[in-house]
Amino acid sequence: MRSSTIVRAAALATLALALASNVSRAAAAATRFEIRVARGAHAAPITGRLILVLAKTATPEPRFAISARGPAIFGVDLDQLAPGQPAVVDERALGFPRSIADLPPGDYYAQAVINLYEQVRRADGKTIWVHMNDGAVEFFSIAPGNLYSEPQLVHIGGDGGGVVTIEIAHVIPPAARPTDTEWLKHVRIQSPMLTKFWGRPIYVHAHLLLPKGYDQHPEVSYPSIYTLGHGDTPLSFSTTPPRNGAPNAINPVTGLESGYATYQAWSSDAFPRVIAITLEQQTPYFPDSYSVNSANNGPYGDAIVQEIIPYLEEHFRIIRKPYARQLEGASTSGWQSLAMQLQHPAFFGGAWIFQPDPIDLTRYQMTDIYKDTNAFVAQTGPFTSADRGFQRTTDGQVVITTRDLSRFEAVLGSHGRAAYQLEGWEAVYGPVGADGYPVPLWDKLTGTIDHTVASYMRDNGFDLRAYAEKNWSTLGPQLGGKLHFSAGDMDDYWLNLAVYKFEDFLKSTTAPHVDADFTYGRPMKGHSWHPTTWADFIRRASAAIAAAAPAGENSRAWHY
């Protein structure tokens, strides 16, 4: 009898909780946001992506906190939204991490941002709507010309609900561009090839760090090291001491020194004289083109090698020979450095490849895109499965799953327009769809992999290990001594797994056999780890250049 009473009481409690949950959900579902753009901010019809951000704090502004571990976001497409017409965000809008109706009741700070699209007619015959800029790297929430509202306090759930009105009245102003100094020079170069492809002007920004004595020695030319990061300052160079910590301290996580310590070495009498160059080349789909030809992005590989680098070598005193062109990059730029060296083996003299994005697509992080059927879930047994991680800590704790990031990107933009990592890869590596946009490798809400896209990526050279193996008879003889790899053994994104696969491939090569150096950070070194300081890297790269230089050219070229 007592047992029956306990069971009945538990059942009633469960029912009460379910009813309370349904009431809370209904109250939240009743919340409807109506968002209007002030005529003074934008008088013409708007096509773009509206993102509503709901954060628990007002500082920083919610739009600045957007990330896959940040506030809740909700996205809707705007298709020629007329001035004064409200855009509606309610429980039907795709949300991250879930629907508005599933948010816990409470107070939130709401802010709306519109990523404006423009219509472009590409040379491939496709007409699409995407966000375009002048090639400078910028996230949509800070991109000049985009629109945003003031943060405002709103209540969701409980006695709340109803209609919340938001007015978007602000236009993001142009960002200040870096100015030239004694050491740093900045140029913006229009690419005829890319301009033709996109049907509008397309630019690449180059940032050059000049060696000591450059102006005082007009007769001297220098080797170039392309440090292919996303920023506007090679090697984090700075003439200002750090605010905290000793200027020459080595960061135990990254292995790098401060930008000021780099400056101290760079400006010393005994330091190698080279020109370090970084590039900004944002596309509509990602902050970097990866410097390869792409069906979605256009002929960036040809543009960099045939237009941008020749322009720099013409306007600065850069040695115009392969041995004097070195590539360096980490993460995105690590993949980029290897791809450029493999695709143009006679043009570049070496590649320093640090924790690259997946260079073997059987290790697309934790997914084998050719064999696995779902990107979200790994089948661990006949009746068990586990979610795949996208990011982890160096002690192995998963902090973002692939499922999470996929949904996050789906909220940021439809048709591959998230301008985030997964869809950035798809734009670079994948095919163009019938609608003119990148074809997704997997469904962002279910994780189902499209193996025709995976095959396209491999067959068109974006699986770099497969590309090297397929072309080894011609590539191998041109790569001796040119490849230098490193990765942390606990890379945050499991990128070390593909590096291991590339090392295995190189060990197996014949006709010719090519050795490359591989350095692994152990124990528990993550994605930001580097095997040397910037100063020591420049010394190593300069030594490789000197060793490859023709007899007698070393001292004449870049030593005073």
293 and 318 in one domain? yes
Question: With 70 as the cut, is the pLDDT of residue 201 above it?
Answer: yes
Separation in Å, CA 267 to CA 57, 211, 466, 552: 44, 8, 42, 25
Separation in Å, CA 318 to CA 204, 272, 314, 321, 365: 18, 14, 8, 9, 38
Give the range of the structural domain holding residue 439, as residue numbers without chain letter. Answer: 377-458
450 and 484 in one domain? no
Residues 84-94 as b or e (16 or more Cβ within 10 Å = b): eeebebbbebb
Mean pLDDT score of the chain, rounded to an integer? 93
With vertex at residue 186, the alpha carbon angle to CA 182 and CA 188, rounded to the nearest 5 degrees, is: 160
Give the total number of structural domains in the chain: 3
Of the three residues 116, 142, 171, the one that is the final residue of a domain is: 171
State CA 425 to chain mean position distance.
9
Mean pLDDT of 198-221: 96
Question: With 50 as the cut, is the pLDDT of residue 11 above it?
Answer: no
What whole-number percentage of the chain has pLDDT above 70? Answer: 93
196 and 84 in one domain? no
329 and 408 in one domain? no
120 and 190 in one domain? no
Of the three residues 113, 138, 171, the one that is the final residue of a domain is: 171
Within-domain flag for 268: yes
384 and 295 in one domain? no
The CATH number of the domain holding residue 128 is 2.60.40
* Residue 157: predicted pLDDT: 81
Within-domain flag for 14: no
Within-domain flag for 431: yes
Within-domain flag for 96: yes
Strand pairing category for 152-156 and 127-130: unpaired
444 and 482 in one domain? no
Closest of 533, 538, 529, 532 to residue 355, by C-alpha: 529
354 and 256 in one domain? yes
Question: With 70 as the cut, is the pLDDT of residue 122 above it?
Answer: yes
The full DSSP string for 200-246 is S--EEEEEEEPPTTTTT-TT--B-EEEE--SSSSGGG--SS--SSS-
340 and 206 in one domain? yes
Separation in Å, CA 296 to CA 119, 135, 287, 325, 389: 15, 16, 14, 28, 27
339 and 202 in one domain? yes
Instruction: Report CA Rg, the chain.
Output: 26
Of the three residues 122, 147, 171, the one that is the final residue of a domain is: 171
The CATH number of the domain holding residue 230 is 3.40.50.1820
Residues 6+ apart with CB under 8 A from 440: 416, 423, 426, 430, 450, 453
Within-domain flag for 509: yes
Other Cβ atoms within 10 Å of 295 Cβ, number: 17
Which residues are 521's β-sheet partners?
488
Note the pTM of the prediction, 2 decimals. 0.93
Within-domain flag for 341: yes
Mean pLDDT of 449-469: 98
Residue 265 to residue 262: CA distance in whole angstroms: 5
Within-domain flag for 2: no
State pLDDT tens for residues 229-256. Answer: 878 899 999 999 999 888 899 999 999 9
* Residue 553: predicted pLDDT: 74
24 SS3 class? helix
553 and 511 in one domain? yes
Residue 268: which H helix or E strand, with range?
Answer: none
State pLDDT tens for residues 82-111. Answer: 988 999 999 999 999 999 999 999 999 999
Mean pLDDT of 29-44: 90
440 and 421 in one domain? yes
Residue 186: which H helix or E strand, with range?
Answer: strand 184-190
Within-domain flag for 372: no
Other Cβ atoms within 10 Å of 18 Cβ, number: 10
Residue 426 to residue 439: CA distance in whole angstroms: 7
8 Ramachandran zone, left/alpha/beta (phi>0; psi -120 to 50):
alpha
